[in-house]
């Protein structure tokens, strides 16, 4: 039987532009002024923030192509919530190469953004099939084939990808 393992729980995603870009130096950033992120969405530099406190993912405008098979769901388990009452959960099914995912388009676009998010992996999570995890990607067009992928080199003005992978082979 195929087992389900929690891939990641995204509890807060905050994307900054404008003022944050001008302050792009090491040290306490904008979030230091907002303990627990309370009120951070009111700052002019914040272009998108979701702590999933609405209890749904309606602020997100899309998922990956396997969204129906592996939906991202909002949970309220206090052991898996960073702050507030909710978190978003994506499941990875053992033996498959993808988990669920969600996306948000930042239109009309930005030349520079700063991103912060919290992720939690289940205690028994094991990386299989070189699965890649939490990442932020950007591209100029909305076509499926324009995503940055392994082995392809973006021109530098068309797309980017940055991610964090869990390492479990200690």
In a domain, 161, yes or no: no
In a domain, 115, yes or no: yes
In a domain, 150, yes or no: no
For residue 15, count other CB atoms closer than 10 A to its CB.
Answer: 20
Q: What is the pLDDT of residues 103-129, one digit of tens each?
A: 777 776 777 777 777 777 777 777 665
CA distance 22 to 100: 34
In a domain, 77, yes or no: yes
Overall domain count for the chain: 1
Domain with 60, as residue range(s), is: 4-128
CA distance 30 to 37: 10
Q: What's the token pair of residue 37?
A: 């992120």
Q: Give φ, ψ of 78 to 5 degrees.
A: -60, -20
Q: What's the token pair of residue 134?
A: 């939490």
- Model confidence band, residue 5 (pLDDT cutoffs 50, 70, 90): very low
In a domain, 55, yes or no: yes
* Whole-structure pTM value: 0.63
In a domain, 158, yes or no: no
In a domain, 134, yes or no: no
């Amino acid at each position: 039987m195929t087992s389900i393992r929690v891939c990641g729980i995204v509890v807060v995603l905050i994307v900054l532009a404008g003022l944050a870009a001008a302050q792009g130096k090491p040290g306490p950033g904008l979030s230091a002024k907002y303990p627990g992120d309370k009120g951070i969405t009111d700052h002019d530099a914040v272009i998108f923030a979701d702590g999933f406190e609405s209890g749904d993912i309606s602020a997100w405008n899309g998922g990956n192509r396997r969204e129906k098979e592996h939906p991202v769901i909002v949970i309220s388990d206090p052991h898996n919530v960073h702050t507030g009452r909710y978190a978003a959960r994506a499941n990875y099914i053992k033996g498959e190469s993808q988990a669920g995912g969600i996306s948000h388009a930042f239109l009309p676009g930005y030349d520079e953004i700063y991103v912060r998010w919290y992720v939690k992996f289940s205690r028994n999570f094991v990386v299989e099939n070189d699965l890649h995890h939490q990442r932020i990607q950007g591209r100029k067009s909305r076509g499926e084939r324009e995503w940055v992928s392994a082995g392809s080199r973006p021109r530098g003005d068309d797309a980017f990808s940055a991610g964090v992978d869990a390492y479990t082979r200690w």
